[in-house]
Chain A
Amino acid sequence: MEPIELKSQYRHALLPEPSSEELSRQDFVKSLKFHLASTISTGNKNAFDGRAARRFEKAEGRPPETMHDVRRAMQGDPYFNFWSALQRNSQEMMWKSVQMPVERQLGDLIERAAGDEGPGSLTLDPDVAVPAYHTAVDIHCMPGGYHTEFTENDVANGAVYDRAVYIYAMGRMGPFNSDIGDTAIALIKSRFPDLKPRRILDMGCAVGHSTLPYCDAWPEAEVHAIDVGAPVLRYAHGRARSLGYPVHFSQQNAESTRFPDGHFDLIVSHILVHETSARAIRAIMREARRLLAPGGVVLHGETPPYRDLPAYDAFMLDWDTRNNNEPFWGASHEIEPARIAAETGFDPDKAFEAYQPSAFEAAEQERTKVFQGGDFGGGGAWYFWGVQK
Protein backbone atom coordinates (compact mmCIF):
# COMPACT_ATOMS: atom_id res chain seq x y z
CA MET A 1 0.00 0.00 0.00
CA GLU A 2 1.24 3.49 -0.84
CA PRO A 3 1.81 5.81 2.10
CA ILE A 4 -1.44 7.55 3.02
CA GLU A 5 -1.40 11.24 2.19
CA LEU A 6 -2.64 12.92 5.36
CA LYS A 7 -3.73 16.23 3.84
CA SER A 8 -6.30 14.75 1.47
CA GLN A 9 -9.26 12.45 1.74
CA TYR A 10 -8.29 8.88 0.85
CA ARG A 11 -9.60 8.00 -2.62
CA HIS A 12 -11.33 4.69 -2.04
CA ALA A 13 -13.31 3.11 -4.87
CA LEU A 14 -16.62 4.81 -4.02
CA LEU A 15 -15.41 8.33 -3.45
CA PRO A 16 -16.86 10.52 -6.22
CA GLU A 17 -14.15 11.91 -8.46
CA PRO A 18 -14.56 15.69 -8.78
CA SER A 19 -13.72 17.51 -11.99
CA SER A 20 -11.02 20.14 -11.61
CA GLU A 21 -13.63 22.88 -11.23
CA GLU A 22 -15.66 20.84 -8.77
CA LEU A 23 -12.54 20.25 -6.67
CA SER A 24 -11.80 24.00 -6.71
CA ARG A 25 -15.35 24.75 -5.59
CA GLN A 26 -15.00 22.29 -2.69
CA ASP A 27 -11.61 23.73 -1.78
CA PHE A 28 -13.16 27.18 -1.66
CA VAL A 29 -15.82 25.98 0.79
CA LYS A 30 -13.11 24.40 2.93
CA SER A 31 -11.12 27.66 2.92
CA LEU A 32 -14.24 29.69 3.68
CA LYS A 33 -15.13 27.46 6.60
CA PHE A 34 -11.62 27.68 7.96
CA HIS A 35 -11.56 31.45 7.56
CA LEU A 36 -14.89 31.78 9.37
CA ALA A 37 -13.85 29.46 12.20
CA SER A 38 -10.34 30.81 12.71
CA THR A 39 -10.84 34.56 12.33
CA ILE A 40 -14.38 35.84 11.70
CA SER A 41 -15.85 33.76 14.52
CA THR A 42 -13.42 35.16 17.09
CA GLY A 43 -15.03 38.58 16.59
CA ASN A 44 -18.21 37.26 18.18
CA LYS A 45 -16.44 37.21 21.55
CA ASN A 46 -15.44 40.82 21.05
CA ALA A 47 -19.00 41.73 20.04
CA PHE A 48 -20.16 40.07 23.23
CA ASP A 49 -17.58 41.62 25.58
CA GLY A 50 -17.48 45.03 23.98
CA ARG A 51 -21.10 45.55 23.07
CA ALA A 52 -23.75 42.91 23.73
CA ALA A 53 -22.81 42.18 27.36
CA ARG A 54 -22.77 45.91 28.14
CA ARG A 55 -26.19 46.39 26.62
CA PHE A 56 -27.51 43.41 28.56
CA GLU A 57 -26.08 44.73 31.82
CA LYS A 58 -27.62 48.15 31.27
CA ALA A 59 -31.04 46.66 30.60
CA GLU A 60 -31.02 43.94 33.27
CA GLY A 61 -28.94 45.54 35.99
CA ARG A 62 -26.62 42.48 36.09
CA PRO A 63 -24.04 40.95 33.79
CA PRO A 64 -25.02 37.98 31.60
CA GLU A 65 -24.15 34.77 33.42
CA THR A 66 -25.77 31.74 31.86
CA MET A 67 -25.75 30.50 28.30
CA HIS A 68 -29.34 31.72 28.02
CA ASP A 69 -28.27 35.19 29.17
CA VAL A 70 -25.59 35.18 26.48
CA ARG A 71 -28.17 34.19 23.89
CA ARG A 72 -30.47 37.02 24.90
CA ALA A 73 -27.57 39.44 24.87
CA MET A 74 -26.33 38.34 21.44
CA GLN A 75 -29.71 38.08 19.76
CA GLY A 76 -29.88 40.86 17.24
CA ASP A 77 -26.18 41.75 17.52
CA PRO A 78 -25.24 42.74 13.96
CA TYR A 79 -21.81 41.11 14.00
CA PHE A 80 -23.18 37.83 15.32
CA ASN A 81 -26.00 37.91 12.77
CA PHE A 82 -23.63 38.51 9.90
CA TRP A 83 -21.29 35.73 10.99
CA SER A 84 -24.31 33.43 11.38
CA ALA A 85 -25.48 34.27 7.88
CA LEU A 86 -22.00 33.56 6.47
CA GLN A 87 -21.78 30.32 8.44
CA ARG A 88 -25.18 29.15 7.21
CA ASN A 89 -24.18 30.00 3.65
CA SER A 90 -20.93 28.05 3.98
CA GLN A 91 -22.93 25.02 5.07
CA GLU A 92 -25.32 25.33 2.11
CA MET A 93 -22.44 25.89 -0.30
CA MET A 94 -20.73 22.80 1.08
CA TRP A 95 -23.69 20.54 0.28
CA LYS A 96 -24.04 22.05 -3.16
CA SER A 97 -20.35 21.61 -3.93
CA VAL A 98 -20.44 17.92 -3.09
CA GLN A 99 -23.79 17.25 -4.76
CA MET A 100 -22.52 18.37 -8.17
CA PRO A 101 -19.97 15.56 -8.77
CA VAL A 102 -22.29 13.00 -7.17
CA GLU A 103 -25.15 13.94 -9.51
CA ARG A 104 -22.82 13.72 -12.48
CA GLN A 105 -21.59 10.20 -11.74
CA LEU A 106 -24.41 8.66 -9.70
CA GLY A 107 -24.92 5.78 -12.13
CA ASP A 108 -21.29 4.73 -11.78
CA LEU A 109 -21.35 5.04 -8.02
CA ILE A 110 -24.45 2.83 -7.77
CA GLU A 111 -22.75 0.23 -9.96
CA ARG A 112 -19.54 0.31 -7.93
CA ALA A 113 -21.48 -0.09 -4.68
CA ALA A 114 -23.49 -3.02 -6.02
CA GLY A 115 -20.68 -5.49 -6.88
CA ASP A 116 -20.49 -8.78 -4.91
CA GLU A 117 -16.73 -8.83 -4.40
CA GLY A 118 -15.29 -8.36 -0.95
CA PRO A 119 -15.90 -9.11 2.70
CA GLY A 120 -18.78 -8.16 4.98
CA SER A 121 -22.49 -8.02 4.22
CA LEU A 122 -25.42 -5.68 3.68
CA THR A 123 -28.98 -6.35 4.84
CA LEU A 124 -31.59 -3.79 3.93
CA ASP A 125 -35.10 -3.78 5.36
CA PRO A 126 -37.57 -1.48 3.62
CA ASP A 127 -39.99 -1.98 6.54
CA VAL A 128 -37.74 0.02 8.88
CA ALA A 129 -39.59 3.29 9.38
CA VAL A 130 -37.43 6.41 9.25
CA PRO A 131 -38.05 8.08 12.62
CA ALA A 132 -39.68 11.51 12.84
CA TYR A 133 -36.47 13.02 14.25
CA HIS A 134 -34.90 12.39 10.85
CA THR A 135 -37.84 13.42 8.69
CA ALA A 136 -38.99 16.59 10.53
CA VAL A 137 -36.10 18.59 9.09
CA ASP A 138 -33.08 17.51 7.03
CA ILE A 139 -30.37 17.19 9.69
CA HIS A 140 -27.38 19.54 9.39
CA CYS A 141 -29.03 20.94 6.23
CA MET A 142 -28.08 17.93 4.10
CA PRO A 143 -30.83 17.94 1.48
CA GLY A 144 -32.71 14.66 1.85
CA GLY A 145 -30.96 13.54 5.03
CA TYR A 146 -29.52 10.04 5.38
CA HIS A 147 -32.70 8.35 4.23
CA THR A 148 -34.05 9.92 1.02
CA GLU A 149 -33.67 7.79 -2.10
CA PHE A 150 -33.57 9.70 -5.35
CA THR A 151 -33.40 6.62 -7.56
CA GLU A 152 -33.31 2.83 -7.33
CA ASN A 153 -30.43 1.36 -5.28
CA ASP A 154 -29.46 4.92 -4.49
CA VAL A 155 -26.14 5.75 -2.83
CA ALA A 156 -26.23 9.50 -3.54
CA ASN A 157 -26.49 10.81 -0.02
CA GLY A 158 -23.87 8.36 1.19
CA ALA A 159 -21.45 9.84 -1.34
CA VAL A 160 -22.56 13.37 -0.51
CA TYR A 161 -22.10 12.77 3.22
CA ASP A 162 -18.68 11.11 2.85
CA ARG A 163 -17.15 14.06 1.03
CA ALA A 164 -19.02 16.73 3.01
CA VAL A 165 -17.78 15.37 6.35
CA TYR A 166 -14.22 15.76 5.08
CA ILE A 167 -14.87 19.36 4.04
CA TYR A 168 -16.86 20.17 7.18
CA ALA A 169 -14.04 18.88 9.37
CA MET A 170 -11.54 20.62 7.06
CA GLY A 171 -9.62 17.37 6.90
CA ARG A 172 -8.99 17.33 10.64
CA MET A 173 -10.70 13.96 11.09
CA GLY A 174 -8.08 12.30 8.90
CA PRO A 175 -8.00 10.83 5.37
CA PHE A 176 -10.73 8.33 6.32
CA ASN A 177 -12.84 10.72 8.45
CA SER A 178 -12.27 8.18 11.20
CA ASP A 179 -11.08 10.40 14.04
CA ILE A 180 -14.07 9.92 16.36
CA GLY A 181 -13.84 6.13 16.03
CA ASP A 182 -10.06 6.12 16.48
CA THR A 183 -10.36 8.35 19.52
CA ALA A 184 -13.17 6.24 21.02
CA ILE A 185 -11.01 3.13 20.66
CA ALA A 186 -8.09 4.79 22.45
CA LEU A 187 -10.42 5.65 25.31
CA ILE A 188 -11.98 2.16 25.49
CA LYS A 189 -8.57 0.47 25.49
CA SER A 190 -7.26 2.64 28.29
CA ARG A 191 -10.43 2.57 30.37
CA PHE A 192 -11.41 -1.09 29.86
CA PRO A 193 -8.09 -2.87 29.22
CA ASP A 194 -9.66 -6.27 29.90
CA LEU A 195 -12.51 -5.85 27.45
CA LYS A 196 -12.08 -8.38 24.63
CA PRO A 197 -15.20 -7.90 22.55
CA ARG A 198 -16.43 -10.87 20.54
CA ARG A 199 -19.05 -8.74 18.79
CA ILE A 200 -19.17 -4.98 18.36
CA LEU A 201 -22.15 -2.86 17.28
CA ASP A 202 -21.85 0.64 15.83
CA MET A 203 -25.20 2.44 16.02
CA GLY A 204 -26.09 5.14 13.49
CA CYS A 205 -23.02 4.31 11.41
CA ALA A 206 -23.93 6.40 8.32
CA VAL A 207 -21.18 5.60 5.77
CA GLY A 208 -19.02 3.79 8.35
CA HIS A 209 -16.38 6.48 8.95
CA SER A 210 -16.00 5.49 12.60
CA THR A 211 -16.92 1.82 12.13
CA LEU A 212 -13.88 0.59 10.21
CA PRO A 213 -11.24 1.31 12.89
CA TYR A 214 -12.96 -1.23 15.18
CA CYS A 215 -11.96 -3.98 12.73
CA ASP A 216 -8.32 -2.95 13.13
CA ALA A 217 -8.55 -2.50 16.89
CA TRP A 218 -10.13 -5.92 17.55
CA PRO A 219 -9.44 -8.09 14.48
CA GLU A 220 -10.99 -11.15 16.14
CA ALA A 221 -14.32 -9.41 16.75
CA GLU A 222 -17.36 -9.50 14.49
CA VAL A 223 -18.25 -5.89 13.64
CA HIS A 224 -21.88 -4.92 12.99
CA ALA A 225 -23.11 -1.47 12.01
CA ILE A 226 -26.69 -0.20 11.71
CA ASP A 227 -28.46 2.86 10.38
CA VAL A 228 -31.99 3.77 9.32
CA GLY A 229 -30.88 5.20 5.96
CA ALA A 230 -30.61 2.80 3.01
CA PRO A 231 -28.50 5.09 0.75
CA VAL A 232 -25.81 5.59 3.38
CA LEU A 233 -25.73 1.85 4.14
CA ARG A 234 -25.30 0.83 0.50
CA TYR A 235 -22.46 3.32 0.23
CA ALA A 236 -20.96 2.23 3.57
CA HIS A 237 -20.93 -1.39 2.47
CA GLY A 238 -19.30 -0.60 -0.88
CA ARG A 239 -16.76 1.66 0.79
CA ALA A 240 -15.88 -0.87 3.51
CA ARG A 241 -15.44 -3.66 0.96
CA SER A 242 -13.30 -1.54 -1.30
CA LEU A 243 -11.03 -0.94 1.68
CA GLY A 244 -11.11 -4.62 2.66
CA TYR A 245 -13.07 -4.33 5.92
CA PRO A 246 -15.44 -7.15 6.92
CA VAL A 247 -18.33 -5.15 8.41
CA HIS A 248 -21.91 -6.41 8.59
CA PHE A 249 -24.17 -3.48 7.77
CA SER A 250 -27.90 -3.67 8.31
CA GLN A 251 -30.83 -1.29 8.15
CA GLN A 252 -32.17 -1.14 11.68
CA ASN A 253 -33.32 1.46 14.17
CA ALA A 254 -31.05 1.57 17.23
CA GLU A 255 -34.13 2.01 19.43
CA SER A 256 -35.30 -1.49 18.61
CA THR A 257 -33.02 -3.90 16.76
CA ARG A 258 -33.41 -7.51 15.64
CA PHE A 259 -30.27 -8.74 17.45
CA PRO A 260 -30.70 -11.29 20.27
CA ASP A 261 -30.24 -10.43 23.96
CA GLY A 262 -26.68 -10.20 25.25
CA HIS A 263 -25.25 -10.38 21.70
CA PHE A 264 -22.60 -7.64 22.03
CA ASP A 265 -19.70 -6.83 24.35
CA LEU A 266 -19.22 -3.35 22.97
CA ILE A 267 -21.83 -0.94 21.58
CA VAL A 268 -20.68 2.43 20.29
CA SER A 269 -22.06 5.48 18.55
CA HIS A 270 -20.30 8.50 17.08
CA ILE A 271 -22.18 11.81 16.83
CA LEU A 272 -25.43 9.83 16.82
CA VAL A 273 -26.93 11.07 20.07
CA HIS A 274 -27.52 14.68 18.98
CA GLU A 275 -29.40 13.44 15.92
CA THR A 276 -32.02 11.52 17.94
CA SER A 277 -34.57 12.78 20.44
CA ALA A 278 -35.18 12.84 24.20
CA ARG A 279 -37.34 9.73 23.99
CA ALA A 280 -35.20 7.98 21.37
CA ILE A 281 -31.90 8.22 23.26
CA ARG A 282 -33.58 6.61 26.26
CA ALA A 283 -34.99 3.85 24.05
CA ILE A 284 -31.50 3.40 22.56
CA MET A 285 -29.98 3.06 26.04
CA ARG A 286 -32.63 0.49 27.05
CA GLU A 287 -31.95 -1.40 23.83
CA ALA A 288 -28.20 -1.26 24.51
CA ARG A 289 -28.82 -2.76 27.95
CA ARG A 290 -30.76 -5.62 26.36
CA LEU A 291 -28.07 -6.20 23.73
CA LEU A 292 -25.05 -6.07 26.03
CA ALA A 293 -23.54 -9.15 27.61
CA PRO A 294 -22.67 -8.76 31.32
CA GLY A 295 -19.58 -6.56 31.66
CA GLY A 296 -20.20 -5.10 28.19
CA VAL A 297 -19.86 -1.39 27.52
CA VAL A 298 -21.97 1.17 25.67
CA LEU A 299 -20.18 4.38 24.68
CA HIS A 300 -21.33 7.49 22.80
CA GLY A 301 -19.00 10.08 21.25
CA GLU A 302 -20.12 13.72 21.04
CA THR A 303 -18.98 17.28 21.67
CA PRO A 304 -18.77 18.56 25.29
CA PRO A 305 -21.90 19.03 27.41
CA TYR A 306 -22.75 22.65 28.07
CA ARG A 307 -22.17 22.29 31.82
CA ASP A 308 -18.45 21.83 31.13
CA LEU A 309 -18.12 25.02 29.07
CA PRO A 310 -18.05 28.71 29.97
CA ALA A 311 -21.44 30.30 29.20
CA TYR A 312 -20.17 32.10 26.10
CA ASP A 313 -18.58 28.94 24.61
CA ALA A 314 -21.73 26.93 25.32
CA PHE A 315 -23.78 29.56 23.52
CA MET A 316 -21.48 29.38 20.48
CA LEU A 317 -21.54 25.57 20.43
CA ASP A 318 -25.33 25.77 20.59
CA TRP A 319 -25.44 27.67 17.28
CA ASP A 320 -26.29 24.49 15.36
CA THR A 321 -29.53 23.96 17.27
CA ARG A 322 -31.24 26.91 15.61
CA ASN A 323 -29.08 27.55 12.56
CA ASN A 324 -28.08 24.19 11.17
CA ASN A 325 -31.17 21.97 11.40
CA GLU A 326 -29.99 20.15 14.50
CA PRO A 327 -33.12 20.32 16.66
CA PHE A 328 -31.86 17.94 19.38
CA TRP A 329 -28.35 19.42 19.53
CA GLY A 330 -29.07 21.68 22.51
CA ALA A 331 -31.01 19.18 24.62
CA SER A 332 -28.53 16.39 23.87
CA HIS A 333 -25.75 18.57 25.31
CA GLU A 334 -27.59 18.63 28.65
CA ILE A 335 -27.61 14.82 29.03
CA GLU A 336 -26.23 13.55 32.34
CA PRO A 337 -24.79 10.06 31.92
CA ALA A 338 -25.46 8.72 35.44
CA ARG A 339 -29.01 9.99 35.34
CA ILE A 340 -29.86 8.53 31.96
CA ALA A 341 -28.16 5.26 32.98
CA ALA A 342 -30.40 5.04 36.04
CA GLU A 343 -33.49 5.87 33.98
CA THR A 344 -32.75 3.12 31.49
CA GLY A 345 -32.04 0.26 33.88
CA PHE A 346 -28.25 0.49 34.16
CA ASP A 347 -26.33 0.87 37.41
CA PRO A 348 -25.67 4.64 37.57
CA ASP A 349 -22.44 3.98 39.47
CA LYS A 350 -21.10 2.32 36.34
CA ALA A 351 -21.80 5.35 34.16
CA PHE A 352 -18.83 7.43 33.05
CA GLU A 353 -17.88 10.47 31.02
CA ALA A 354 -14.46 11.43 29.72
CA TYR A 355 -12.53 13.59 27.31
CA GLN A 356 -10.08 11.96 24.99
CA PRO A 357 -7.59 13.91 22.86
CA SER A 358 -8.19 13.52 19.16
CA ALA A 359 -6.32 10.54 17.72
CA PHE A 360 -5.46 12.33 14.45
CA GLU A 361 -2.38 14.27 15.38
CA ALA A 362 -1.62 15.49 11.87
CA ALA A 363 -4.45 18.01 12.22
CA GLU A 364 -2.92 19.64 15.28
CA GLN A 365 -1.66 22.87 13.76
CA GLU A 366 -4.96 23.69 12.07
CA ARG A 367 -7.15 23.27 15.10
CA THR A 368 -8.90 26.27 16.59
CA LYS A 369 -9.07 24.47 19.97
CA VAL A 370 -12.63 25.63 20.48
CA PHE A 371 -15.87 23.77 20.09
CA GLN A 372 -17.97 26.21 18.14
CA GLY A 373 -21.00 26.45 15.91
CA GLY A 374 -20.26 25.29 12.39
CA ASP A 375 -16.89 23.74 13.32
CA PHE A 376 -17.04 21.03 15.94
CA GLY A 377 -14.08 19.13 14.52
CA GLY A 378 -11.62 21.80 15.59
CA GLY A 379 -11.72 21.19 19.33
CA GLY A 380 -8.85 18.71 19.40
CA ALA A 381 -10.70 16.29 21.72
CA TRP A 382 -13.94 14.36 21.84
CA TYR A 383 -16.36 13.90 24.71
CA PHE A 384 -17.56 10.40 25.48
CA TRP A 385 -20.16 9.11 27.85
CA GLY A 386 -21.48 5.65 28.54
CA VAL A 387 -21.99 2.88 31.03
CA GLN A 388 -20.77 -0.62 31.69
CA LYS A 389 -23.41 -3.31 32.20
Chain B
Amino acid sequence: MSGQADGARIELQKKAKGERPAYFSDPAIDKILSITMALAGEVAVMRDRLDTVERLLEGGGPVTQEAIEAYRPDPSVREERDAIRERFLENILRIVHQEREELARKAEERAPYGEAVQLVEAL
Protein backbone atom coordinates (compact mmCIF):
# COMPACT_ATOMS: atom_id res chain seq x y z
CA MET B 1 0.00 0.00 0.00
CA SER B 2 1.38 3.38 -0.91
CA GLY B 3 1.72 6.02 1.76
CA GLN B 4 3.89 8.87 2.81
CA ALA B 5 7.24 8.65 4.50
CA ASP B 6 6.74 9.08 8.23
CA GLY B 7 8.65 12.34 8.24
CA ALA B 8 6.21 13.90 5.78
CA ARG B 9 3.08 12.82 7.63
CA ILE B 10 0.63 15.65 8.19
CA GLU B 11 -1.40 15.34 11.34
CA LEU B 12 -5.06 16.26 11.09
CA GLN B 13 -6.89 18.12 13.83
CA LYS B 14 -8.18 15.65 16.39
CA LYS B 15 -10.78 17.62 18.33
CA ALA B 16 -13.68 19.44 16.72
CA LYS B 17 -13.80 23.10 17.68
CA GLY B 18 -16.64 23.74 20.09
CA GLU B 19 -17.37 22.88 23.69
CA ARG B 20 -18.02 19.17 24.22
CA PRO B 21 -21.28 18.56 26.14
CA ALA B 22 -20.94 16.91 29.55
CA TYR B 23 -23.34 13.97 29.81
CA PHE B 24 -22.58 12.88 33.37
CA SER B 25 -22.16 14.67 36.68
CA ASP B 26 -18.56 13.49 36.97
CA PRO B 27 -16.38 14.26 33.91
CA ALA B 28 -14.46 11.06 34.63
CA ILE B 29 -17.55 9.07 33.59
CA ASP B 30 -17.59 10.82 30.20
CA LYS B 31 -13.96 9.89 29.74
CA ILE B 32 -14.43 6.29 30.85
CA LEU B 33 -17.34 5.80 28.44
CA SER B 34 -15.25 7.13 25.55
CA ILE B 35 -12.37 4.83 26.47
CA THR B 36 -14.72 1.84 26.82
CA MET B 37 -16.30 2.42 23.41
CA ALA B 38 -12.89 2.90 21.79
CA LEU B 39 -11.80 -0.41 23.36
CA ALA B 40 -14.97 -2.10 22.12
CA GLY B 41 -14.03 -0.89 18.65
CA GLU B 42 -10.55 -2.35 18.97
CA VAL B 43 -11.97 -5.70 20.10
CA ALA B 44 -14.18 -5.71 16.99
CA VAL B 45 -11.12 -4.91 14.85
CA MET B 46 -9.24 -7.86 16.38
CA ARG B 47 -12.26 -10.14 15.90
CA ASP B 48 -12.24 -9.28 12.18
CA ARG B 49 -8.52 -9.94 12.00
CA LEU B 50 -8.93 -13.31 13.67
CA ASP B 51 -11.71 -14.12 11.23
CA THR B 52 -9.35 -13.21 8.38
CA VAL B 53 -6.67 -15.53 9.76
CA GLU B 54 -9.18 -18.37 10.11
CA ARG B 55 -10.40 -17.92 6.56
CA LEU B 56 -6.87 -17.82 5.19
CA LEU B 57 -6.06 -21.01 7.10
CA GLU B 58 -9.17 -22.68 5.78
CA GLY B 59 -8.24 -21.61 2.26
CA GLY B 60 -4.89 -23.35 2.69
CA GLY B 61 -2.87 -20.36 1.48
CA PRO B 62 -0.02 -18.69 3.34
CA VAL B 63 -0.95 -16.84 6.53
CA THR B 64 1.47 -13.96 6.46
CA GLN B 65 1.06 -10.35 7.53
CA GLU B 66 0.97 -9.50 3.86
CA ALA B 67 -1.82 -11.99 3.15
CA ILE B 68 -3.80 -10.72 6.14
CA GLU B 69 -3.39 -7.14 4.99
CA ALA B 70 -4.31 -7.96 1.41
CA TYR B 71 -7.44 -9.89 2.39
CA ARG B 72 -10.67 -8.07 1.54
CA PRO B 73 -13.92 -9.62 2.78
CA ASP B 74 -16.43 -10.24 0.01
CA PRO B 75 -20.05 -9.09 0.50
CA SER B 76 -21.16 -12.36 2.11
CA VAL B 77 -18.26 -12.32 4.59
CA ARG B 78 -19.03 -8.68 5.37
CA GLU B 79 -22.63 -9.62 6.07
CA GLU B 80 -21.48 -12.36 8.45
CA ARG B 81 -19.20 -9.89 10.19
CA ASP B 82 -22.03 -7.35 10.44
CA ALA B 83 -24.13 -9.99 12.19
CA ILE B 84 -21.28 -10.83 14.58
CA ARG B 85 -20.80 -7.15 15.42
CA GLU B 86 -24.54 -6.74 16.01
CA ARG B 87 -24.48 -9.60 18.55
CA PHE B 88 -21.31 -8.17 20.09
CA LEU B 89 -23.01 -4.79 20.56
CA GLU B 90 -26.09 -6.51 22.01
CA ASN B 91 -23.80 -8.17 24.52
CA ILE B 92 -21.62 -5.30 25.62
CA LEU B 93 -24.55 -2.87 25.77
CA ARG B 94 -26.76 -5.38 27.65
CA ILE B 95 -27.02 -3.10 30.68
CA VAL B 96 -28.48 -0.35 28.48
CA HIS B 97 -30.91 -2.77 26.82
CA GLN B 98 -31.95 -3.95 30.27
CA GLU B 99 -33.00 -0.43 31.18
CA ARG B 100 -34.72 -0.04 27.81
CA GLU B 101 -36.76 -3.21 28.39
CA GLU B 102 -37.68 -2.05 31.88
CA LEU B 103 -38.79 1.34 30.53
CA ALA B 104 -40.82 -0.37 27.81
CA ARG B 105 -42.69 -2.34 30.47
CA LYS B 106 -43.37 0.84 32.43
CA ALA B 107 -44.52 2.70 29.33
CA GLU B 108 -46.87 -0.17 28.51
CA GLU B 109 -48.34 -0.19 32.03
CA ARG B 110 -49.02 3.47 31.63
CA ALA B 111 -51.38 2.87 28.72
CA PRO B 112 -54.92 3.37 30.03
CA TYR B 113 -57.01 0.22 30.53
CA GLY B 114 -59.59 1.66 28.14
CA GLU B 115 -57.13 1.19 25.29
CA ALA B 116 -57.13 -2.55 25.90
CA VAL B 117 -60.94 -2.57 25.83
CA GLN B 118 -60.94 -0.62 22.56
CA LEU B 119 -58.36 -2.95 21.13
CA VAL B 120 -60.23 -6.16 21.85
CA GLU B 121 -63.53 -4.70 20.74
CA ALA B 122 -62.01 -3.78 17.41
CA LEU B 123 -60.44 -7.22 16.88
The answer to whether residues A89 and B107 also contact, given A43-B99, A138-B18 and a CB cut-off of 8 A, is no
In the bound assembly, the distance between CA atoms of A96 and B11 in angstroms comes to 12
Among candidates B1, B4, B44, residue contacting A28 with C-beta atoms closer than 8 Å: B44
- In the complex, the answer to whether A103 meets B12 with C-beta atoms within 8 Å is yes
Chain A residues 68-106 with CB under 8 Å of chain B are 78-79, 81-86, 88-90, 92-93, 95-97, 99, 102-106
Question: A24 on the interface (CB 8 Å rule)?
Answer: yes
Interface size class of B (residues with CB under 8 A): 35 or more
Q: Within residues 94 to 139 of chain A, which ones have a CB less than 8 A from any CB in chain B? A: 95-97, 99, 102-108, 135-138
Taken together as a complex, chains A and B put the C-alpha atoms of A163 and B10 apart, in Å, by 19
| A256 within 8 A of partner (CB) | no
Give CA–CA (A40, B94) in the complex, Å: 10
Which of A31-39, A233-241, A299-307 sits within the interface?
A31-39
- Can you show 22 pairs from A to B with CB atoms below 8 A apart? A7-B78, A8-B75, A29-B41, A31-B44, A31-B85, A31-B89, A32-B37, A32-B41, A35-B89, A43-B96, A50-B105, A50-B107, A78-B99, A89-B33, A105-B2, A106-B10, A136-B18, A141-B18, A142-B16, A144-B12, A144-B13, A148-B13
Q: Is the CB of B100 within 8 A of A79?
A: yes
Do the beta carbons of B16 and A143 come within 8 Å of each other?
yes
Partner of A35, one of B20, B45, B86: B86
Is A82 in contact with B8, judged by CB distance below 8 angstroms?
no
Q: How far, in angstroms, from A51 to B106 measured CA to CA in the complex? A: 8
Cβ of A2 < 8 Å from any Cβ of B?
no
Contacts of B11 in A (CB 8 A): 103, 150
B37-75 Cβ-contact flags toward A at 8 Å (1 or 0) = 110110011001100100000000000000011111001
- Contact of B49 with A20 in the complex, beta carbons under 8 Å: yes
Chain A, range 251-270, C-beta contacts under 8 Å to B? none
8 nearest interchain CB pairs?
A: A137-B18, A43-B100, A50-B106, A50-B107, A85-B23, A46-B103, A138-B16, A49-B107
Is chain A's interface secondary structure helix, strand, loop, or mixed overall?
Answer: helix
| A344, CB-defined interface residue at 8 Å | no
User: Across the interface, do B13 and A92 meet the contact criterion of CB distance under 8 Å?
Assistant: no
Contact B110 A108 (CB under 8 A): no
Chain B residue with minimal CB distance to A81?
B23
At the interface, yes or no: A325 with Cβ under 8 Å from chain B? yes
Q: Across the interface, do A50 and B18 meet the contact criterion of CB distance under 8 Å?
A: no
C-beta contact mask, B1-37 vs A, less than 8 Å → 1, else 0?
Answer: 1111000111111111110110110000010011001
Contact at A50–B99, with CB atoms within 8 Å?
no
On B, residues with C-beta under 8 Å from A are 1-4, 8-18, 20-21, 23-24, 30, 33-34, 37-38, 40-41, 44-45, 48-49, 52, 68-72, 75, 78, 81-82, 85-86, 89-90, 93, 96-97, 99-100, 103-110
Whether A46 and B107, one on each chain, are in contact in the complex, defined by CB atoms closer than 8 angstroms, is yes
Interface size on A, residues (CB 8 A): 70
Q: A43-B99, A151-B10 known; 5 other A-B pairs, CB under 8 Å?
A: A43-B103, A99-B14, A104-B4, A107-B8, A143-B14
With CB as the reference atom, state the residue of chain A lying closest to B9: A103
A42 and B100 contact, Cβ closer than 8 Å, known pairs A104-B4, A105-B2, A105-B3: yes
Q: Does A323 have its Cβ within 8 Å of any Cβ on chain B?
A: yes
- Contact between B104 and A46 (Cβ–Cβ < 8 Å)? yes
Among residues of A, the one whose C-beta sits closest to the C-beta of B5 is A107
Residue of B nearest to A105 (CB): B3
Known: A31-B82, A35-B93, A81-B23. A24 touches B10 (CB 8 A): no
Instruction: Report B-chain residues with C-beta under 8 Å of the C-beta of A336.
Output: none
User: Are A46 and B4 within 8 A (Cβ)?
Assistant: no
Task: Return chain B residues, CB-CB under 8 Å to A173.
Answer: none
Do residues A93 and B69 form an inter-chain contact, with CB atoms below 8 A? no
Expressed in whole angstroms, the Cα–Cα distance for A24 and B20 within the complex equals: 27
Q: Are B16 and A85 in contact (CB under 8 A)?
A: no
Contact residue among A20, A83, A107 (Cβ-Cβ distance under 8 Å from B71): A20
Query: Is B2 in contact with A86, judged by CB distance below 8 angstroms?
Result: no
- Find out whether the CB atom of A51 lies under 8 angstroms from the CB atom of B103: yes
Contacts of B96 in A (CB 8 A): 40, 43, 79, 82-83, 86
Instruction: Report the separation of the CA atoms of residues A97 and B103 in the bound assembly, to the nearest whole angstrom.
Output: 33
Take A29-B41, A50-B106 as given contacts and tell me if A19 and B69 are in contact as well, using a CB distance cutoff of 8 Å: yes
Q: How far is the CB of B56 from chain A (nearest CB, A)?
A: 11
A160 at the interface (CB under 8 A from B): yes
Residue A282 at the B interface, CB < 8 A?
A: no
| A361 / chain B contacts, CB cutoff of 8 Å | none
Whether the pair B4, A50 counts as a contact (CB closer than 8 A) is no
| Best-surrounded residue of A35, A42, A156 (most CB of chain B within 10 A) | A35
Is A17 part of the contact surface with B, judged by Cβ < 8 Å?
Answer: yes
Query: Are A150 and B13 interface neighbours, CB within 8 A?
Result: yes
